[in-house]
Structure 1
Amino acid sequence: MNTIREKLDALTKPAWLSEALPDDGVRCQACAHRCHLKPGQRGVCQMRFNRGGQLYAPWGYVAAANVDPIEKKPFMHFLPGSAALTFGMLGCNFHCDFCQNWVSSQTLRDPASDGSVNYIQAVSPQELVDYGLRRGAQVVASSYNEPLITTEWAIDIFKVAKEKGMRCVYVSNGYATPEALQALAPYLDGYKIDLKCWSDKRYRELGGSLQVVLDTIRMAHDLGMWVEVVTLVIPDFNDSNEDLWETSRYLASVSADIPWHVTAFHPMYKRLDSHRTETTVLQRAAEIGQEAGLRYVYAGNLPGRVGSLEDTHCPACGNLLVRRAGFSVLENKLTPQGTCPACGEKIAGVWS
């Protein structure tokens, strides 16, 4: 095999998140682009393609697999202090110019990412789950690239993980279809969604649509998945009071218990001229989220510089429940039932 495309196309299986169309066409249902593909055509993600009237999707490899703290995903209300086997493939349905994993996500789209071919390792779902168990993982997380475009692969892994008593989560841009969410619902315990901004115009510059992501947040919550939302706060992109207020007000309308993470931007990929996010900006964003009615707001990417915004407090009595430093849990006072030991308040999340 001479090219990265040929190597990737060999690591595929027929996809079932698809709809047959006339003249050997197919419509992909993995993400909200719903690409209509004729034979030989590839989707926006470049990883799903029509071969002879059949949609094919990535299967049988990883480009990265690590055991990380669950706080790194980030999840703050999902088994604090647990280890997550985090795996990823290649490709994405967005083209964000600030992507921190762009070498993986922009494969077959940006020639500068061609080196990602060196990361490909063939593996079976059983082998991957066994690796995580040997490393002490309690959670399996699909991340690094966009997991929605490899949902068939993720579900095959999650089936094995569930048999071993593990929890399963997605770390995603949320550009989902109802079909994909319904398929994931029996297996997916947690869904971390990036809500990148409140401007549909800017969302379209990244390759998506604001309303689709908002609908995904609501549907994932309605399906019973534990949802946490992250907004990377980028100067002069999404850091206005209006943007932050509308974002947090929408989340509160879905559920005041959704944890909202406001995280600091560092110049990355093609967005090298924007300034780093100051601590004061994250603190302002957190205050706006709290004023909008969110009960749990966190600040990230600036460990030790955001005061108590790394910690979990009881929304009823203010008692410190989980104390953190970066990705480390220093103290966890929650009861086994997930309640505040001081006042008995039930704290929303997945605790056992």
Structure 2
Amino acid sequence: VPWGYVAALQSDPTEKKPFYHLYPGSDTLTFGMLGCDLHCAYCQNWDTSQALRDADSGRLPSQVTPEKLVQLALEHKAKCVASSYNEPLITSEWAVAIFKLAKQAGLKCMYVSNGNATREVLEYIRPYTDGYKIDLKTMNDRNYRKLGMPLKGVLDSIQMVHEMGFWQEIVTLIVPGFNSSEDELCEAARFIKSVSPDIPWHVTAFHQDYKMRDPENTGVDLLIRAAEIGYEEGLHFVYAGNMPGHVGRYENTYCPNCQQLLIERYGYVILEYNITPQGTCPACQSPIPGIWPKSKDEVRVLKKQDIWFRMPRSVR
């Protein structure tokens, strides 16, 4: 079992994971190890995730203890701890050792995962894990198998994660020509709605990386259209990511009942926060699904020019 090291470690905005309905405006101490069970040609963390199969990848790991990681989280005033940068499911024993201590220290704990899970591993991590982000990469089984798993595996995981009570958010990286057709985006949105219309769906912009250099980078119009499709298919919370200031209302959170603006964002910056301490809309009192702070005073409300203060920071 991989243990006692990190290959990547930094303090990230929680919105970078991305979690938009879990402690908005907070920081998350994020650690990663080496390896992944998938081999996506466009992986943006390929230097850690592909280290066991690609000679050009890899980082020198640093030895560390769970106690030290929790100490670093507290020193950097993080409210959350996340396992990311590689596939956390393959190093779950290590994550749980950290999360046990993090929970004792009052921190929220999250997985940032490809979703190739079994019920056994989800039951193992559930007592210590609050949030679970899953990549829904495509609705085409043939394309999914090219990445290393069948489509059914991730669809089953999304269903299980929801049923087991994790707070779940789903991300689809929109890759032109790979998963960007309206039919496929509609199918993805319909599936998510069939599990729960309250699951936030993040549609994010692809940029050329690693071995995938052929498609053009995702344009603003395509990203906005993907977000529109999510709402048209009945989802309550759809976000267009990676293009701060260019996607209009699709950075923000609105009450699905009365359309009151609840959270205004600019990239990772919270510009306005209106959710009540009870987790409800201030206008119509509808409950807003998520894991919210107990007081609005806990949320850092900043200005657009503060975006540089919300960038990831290295941790040592």
Residue by residue over 1:52-78, the C-alpha shift from the partner in whole angstroms, topping out at 9 and shown as x without a partner, is: xxxxx2100001111111001000101
TM-score under structure 2 normalisation? 0.92
Taking structure 1 as the reference length, the TM-score comes to: 0.82
Whether the 8 Å CA contact 2:38–2:147 is kept in 1: the answer is yes
Q: Deviations over 1:165-223 (max 9, x none)?
A: 11100000000111100101111100000000001100010011111101111101111
> 3-state SS of the aligned residue for 2:39?
coil
> Within the alignment, does 1:67 sit opposite 2:8 as a pair?
no
Which residue pairs with 1:122 in the alignment? Answer: 63
Q: Which amino acid aligns with 2:286?
A: E
Instruction: Spell out, residue by residue over 1:251-276, the C-alpha distance to the aligned partner (whole angstroms, 9 max, x if none).
Output: 00000000000000000000011101
Equivalent residues in 2 for 1:158-169, closer than 5 Å: 158-169=99-110
Q: CA deviation at 1:338?
A: 1.0
Tell me whether 225-234 or 271-280 shows the greater mean CA deviation: 271-280
Paired with 2:150 and 2:292, the residues of 1 have a C-alpha distance of: 33
- Runs of 4+ in structure 1 deviating by more than 4 angstroms, as ranges, are none
**Residue 134, structure 1, aligned to residue 84, structure 2:** no
Matching of residue 222 in structure 1 with residue 163 in structure 2: yes
Give unpaired runs (5+ residues) of structure 2.
Answer: 294-316
Paired residues for 1:48-59 under 5 Å: 57-59=1-3
Query: Following TM superposition, by how much is the alpha carbon of 1:108 offset from its aligned partner in structure 2, in angstroms?
Result: 2.2
Report the secondary structure of 1:316's partner residue: coil
| Matched-pair contact (CA < 8 Å) for 2:115–2:135 | yes
> Per the alignment, in what secondary structure is the counterpart of residue 110 of structure 2?
strand
Cα deviation, residue 330, structure 1: 1.3
Question: Which whole-Å CA distance do the structure 2 matches of 1:135 and 1:232 have between them?
Answer: 30
Q: Secondary structure at the match of 1:185?
A: helix
Aligned residue number for residue 342 of structure 1: 283
Deviations 1:292-348 (A, max 9, x none): 110000000111100010010111111111011101111111101111111111111
Residue 180 in 1 paired to residue 124 in 2?
no
The number of residues matched between the two structures is: 293
Task: Please give the secondary structure, in 1, of the residue aligned with 2:25.
Answer: coil
2:56 to 109, 112, 130: 112
Q: Per-residue displacement from partner, 1:5-51 (whole Å, max 9, x unpaired)? A: xxxxxxxxxxxxxxxxxxxxxxxxxxxxxxxxxxxxxxxxxxxxxxx
2:31·2:85 contact (CA, 8 Å) conserved in 1?
A: yes
User: In the TM superposition, what whole-angstrom CA distance separates every residue of 1:111-133 from its partner, at most 9, and x where no partner exists?
Assistant: 1114x1x2x11000001110110
Distance 1:179 1:321 in 2: 37
Higher relative contact order (CA 8 A, sep 6+): 2
Which is greater in Rg? 1
Residue range with higher mean Cα deviation, 91-100 or 281-290: 281-290
Match of 2:306 in 1: none
Q: Secondary structure at the match of 1:321?
A: strand
Q: 1:328 aligns with which of 254, 257, 269?
A: 269
5+ long unaligned stretches in structure 1: 1-56
Give SS of 1:283's match: helix
